[in-house]
Amino acid sequence: MASSSALRIPTPTHHPAAGARPRPPRAAFVSVRARRPAVSVSASSPQQTPGHGDAAADGPTGVPAPIPASRDTAIALPRPLTSADLMGETNTHGLKVAYQGCPGAYSEAAARKAYPGCQTVPCEYFETAFQAVESCVADRAVLPLENSLGGSIHRNYDLLLRHNKLHIVGEVRLAVRHCLLANRGVKIENLRSAMSHPQALAQCEQTLTMLGIEHREAVDDTAGAAKHIAEQKLQDTGAVASSLAAELYGLDILAENIQDDTDNVTRFMMLAREPIIARTDKPFKTSIVFSLEEGPGQLFKALAVFALRKINLTKMESRPHKKRPLRVADDNCSTPLKHFDYLFYVDFEASMADPNAQNALNNLKQEFATFLRVLGSYPTDVSET
């Protein structure tokens, strides 16, 4: 890219209680210079083998090397790239990974878990992270898809459909352990209000009430709340955020693990410009999106293509089709009925390298789906959260 791209650090969206302070000023831009996209190597393309006219076939004296007498004779050629070479990503040091939020956000922790040693790139919005990867400002993005308590992050499902040049190349699960943070010297009994992301506040509602904290202030992200409290030196407001945020912004941890439910896990997707090569020697998951014709039992029939092949579905999400939000039903009624038209997002436990999965998708596409896209086929995260 000829110009640099600016990724904006998020600032709190202030929802003050009675007598609250005025809205804080917006944060400055963080500029990240775009780099030129790397040349991609397609492992599915055949590798060229030396022949009579190839320079690689000549010996050190310029005399052509002898040609084997039989096709069965082995030829010493460079080893072709394998899927293990391309999907291992053993060297992630310096890889630029975009995430939504301020430094210290849970998304940053997920990015570092997914790509150890990476260079994290904070983005103000989810869409900014998508755009950062598309424009080569970042190499990857790690963004939340669902939380065990709060459910799906619908915005990212919509963005997956819009940014069709990006592919899901992995998933990572992260245990969310909320802490109550405040400025140095502030005690829990001094706090009148708690500031954080709306989901974080909801996940800690009972604990905050038990601690005597009455008011809630919703902002864009958890780390942004910690940053704002530290910058404004607030004495009566605490932040619900991570221990990393406390370390980054010099705050005290007044209470740990304040979430109402201890089993609080967020699943993140890993996005890249190029898909990885699917394998069958380890657990894989495939994510798709499709739409169907109107009619009784259409969804049942569509899902049967997986059941008949004993493919397990792990998630299903429906979202209104934004390009066709309403559909007129032909029910032979005097007044036409209008229904929402939906897209269906499905995750299933199989690799796209598995002929069984390929047959299921071919069956779905040919018999039932009016639209079908594979969002990614990637290793299942089996690590500890």
Q: Which residues are catalytic?
A: 266, 268
Are 95 and 236 within 8 A, CB to CB? no
Length of the chain as a residue count: 385
Alpha-carbon distance 294 to 272, whole Å?
34
Q: What are phi and psi of 326, to 5 degrees?
A: -125, 145
Per-residue H/E/C for the chain: CCCCEEEECCCCCCCCCCCCCCCCCCCCEEEECCCCCCCCCCCCCCCCCCCCCCHHHECCCCCECCCCCCCCCCCCCCCCCCHHHHHCCCCCCCCEEEEECCCCCHHHHHHHHHCCCCEEEEECCHHHHHHHHHCCCCCEEEEEEEECCCEECHHHHHHHHHCCCCEEEEEEEEECCCEEEECCCCCHHHCCEEEECHHHHHHCHHHHHHCCCCEEEECCCHHHHHHHHHHHCCCCEEEEECHHHHHHHCCEEEEECCCCCCCCEEEEEEEECCCCCCCCCCCEEEEEEEEECCCCCHHHHHHHHHHCCCCCEEEEEEEECCCCCEEEECCCCCCCEEEECEEEEEEECCCCCCHHHHHHHHHHHHHCEEEEEEEEEEECCCCCC
Cβ contact 289:375 at 8 Å? yes
Calculated CA dihedral for residues 88, 90, 94, 100, nearest 10 degrees: 50
CB 12 within 8 A of CB 25: no
